[in-house]
Chain A
Amino acid sequence: MKKLASIKANLPAVVMLMSIVALWELVCLTAKIPEYVLPAPSLIFIALWENIFLLLDHTKITLIAVLGGLALAILVAFILAMAMDRWKPLKQALYPVLVISQAVPIIALAPLMLIWFGVGLLPKVLIVALVCFFPLAVNLVEGFSQVDPEAIDLMQTMHADRWMIMRSVQLPFAMPYFFSGLKIAATYSVLGAIIGEWLGARAGLGIYMLRTMHSYRLSHLLAAIIVVIILSLIMFKLAELAGWLAMPWKRESNNQMEG
């Protein structure tokens, strides 16, 4: 029943999307718009179909940068957020800097990464890590600071040490915060990797897009964009799945911890 209801709820959006594609096809067909201006959806799907293995090869390269960068961002975010929670002066010194650094368009730093680290995998990983780090770190710090002080008091009357309080109270409490940050970071990560590749790389979806752009093969470019969209959606869903797996207590209730 629930499934049926959700299909029903999504139906208007699906109909809308299909109408747009149909209209697009119709316009391209009747107005005879050339492919280098706007390819018809049918041409895009043919390009996608014919190049699927080539696209997957490039996707693999991009995906490595995405996953590597995301993993690095998660690791550093956890270490920094926990350190900031442990040593308040560190938080006072670092947190405002983190917030200000959000105003720096990280993408603008991408050329620097390339100058410093060349055109290999490393600069892409670093760019992805830079874009993903901020939402993760800020959400974690926020989560740690929102823990009910009564809960910490209670743990102290059990003579629990700091690490145990972190492990059994603060970390689980901050998990919903972390995973909402991860969902944002997961979508940013694909974008970060592609932009890194635009600036210089030997392979990857970004490179594929550049090549097709330079040769005005717009159907191929749009096919790559479709792959990028799918990849972003998969990353987002993976983040959601990870949250579902990591927080069994959230599965059947939407209740936050009260008080």
Chain B
Amino acid sequence: MSSTDKLILENIYSTYYSGEQQLPVLNNISLNVGKGEFVSVLGPSGSGKSTILKIASGLLRPEWGRVLIDSKDITGKPQLVGYMPQQDLLFPWKTLKQNAALPLLAQRSSKKEAFTRVEELLPSFGLDGFSDYYPYQLSGGMRQRAALLRTMMIESGLMLLDEPFGALDALTREHLQDWLLEIWGRFKRSVLFVTHSIDEAIYLSDRIYVITERPGKIALEKTIELKRPRSKTVITTSLFSSYKQLLIDSLNIKSADYPGPDYQKES
């Protein structure tokens, strides 16, 4: 861990309380995201991946451990971060433009200024001409891009993305992965990306943390040395396959049980 780290999680423990029940969720998670780095957290459903993001954003205070953003201790203090929860959470009463402008308005930009900035970015998000549409008028893929546009409007160097493509069909998903890489390359944000798809993690990331089933602890940290810019052809390379084998082993999934490129989304 060095001063070039955007985000550091140190020895995080977290427990979920529900009435009498105590459910340990995270067990000594330490991880870091360098400036401009794309880091993924890969794990099975219910491994507390979303909790990691909640804690990293300061929305949730861990039982134990520290969270540093730009070397500042922010444990349990909600930060200005590009947090994108699992559901797109576009507000149905706001048009695409109004939804995406929310972060700017929260920072006291004028409406005019905020809308202008959103409009400028619409083409690169493939949403040109849809600014006055309500969310229910958009397709699933468009909604995810709109939510990502909103996340991008949060003026923070850090993005926390919680399975942004989890609810999409495989084709849309692959398309959006390429598009996300392109956007990331252009805006140079540090990204902590949560997913349960092995291929997605390898394809997108500089580094991957594999976490175990609950209580989640880190089973493996792996740097992915595939050259950038990447395209879908890397999926067929032997290096990609060897990473995949390694990750499958660390997730304790027998290769034969692994049903293919994208095993089904979790509910």
**A residues adjacent to B (C-beta < 8 A):** 148, 150-151, 153-161, 164, 168-169, 172-173, 175, 247-249, 252-253, 255, 257-259
| Band of interface residues on B | 20 to 34
CB <8 Å contact, B89 and A253: no
Q: Is B106 an interface residue (CB 8 A)?
A: yes
Q: Which of A154, A160, A175 has the most CB of B within 10 A?
A: A154
Could you list which residues of chain B lie within 8 angstroms of chain A, going by C-beta atoms? 54, 57, 59, 78-83, 85, 87, 89, 91-94, 102-103, 105-107, 134, 136-137, 154
Q: Kindly list the 7 A-B residue pairs having the minimum CB-CB distance in the complex, ordered from nearest.
A: A160-B106, A172-B93, A157-B83, A158-B106, A156-B78, A253-B136, A158-B103
For the complex formed, measure the closest distance between the CB of A14 and the CB atoms of chain B, giving whole angstroms.
35
Task: Please indicate the chain B residues that have their CB under 8 angstroms from the CB of A164 in the complex.
Answer: 105-106
Contact status A158-B154, CB under 8 Å: yes
Q: Is the interface of A mostly helix, strand, loop or mixed?
A: helix
Q: Which of B79, B103, B136, B154 contacts A249 (CB 8 A)?
A: B136
CA distance A154 to B161 in the complex (A): 12
A258 touches B103 (CB 8 A): no
Per the bound structure, the CA–CA distance linking A259 and B267 in Å amounts to 12
Please determine whether A249 and B92 come into contact, CB atoms closer than 8 angstroms: yes
Chain B residues, Cβ within 8 Å of A169: 91
* Prevailing SS type, chain B contact patch: loop
Q: How far is the CA of A240 from the CA of B93 in the complex (A)?
A: 18
Docked-complex contact A168 and B80, CB < 8 angstroms: no
Residues A259 and B87 in contact, CB atoms below 8 Å apart? yes
CB distance from A255 to the nearest CB of B (A): 5
Query: What is the chain B residue whose CB lies nearest that of A164?
Result: B106
Chain B, Cβ-Cβ closest to A254: B136
Query: With A153-B59, A253-B136, A255-B136 in contact, do A159 and B106 touch (Cβ < 8 Å)?
Result: yes
Nearest-neighbour CB distance to chain A for B101, whole angstroms, equals 10
Q: Which of A158, A159, A252, A258 is the one whose CB lies under 8 Å from B87?
A: A258
Q: Could you list 28 examples of A-B contacts with CB < 8 Å?
A: A148-B89, A150-B87, A151-B91, A153-B78, A153-B83, A153-B85, A155-B102, A157-B59, A157-B78, A157-B79, A158-B80, A158-B154, A159-B78, A159-B106, A160-B106, A168-B94, A172-B91, A172-B93, A172-B94, A175-B93, A249-B94, A249-B136, A252-B136, A253-B134, A253-B136, A255-B136, A257-B92, A258-B87
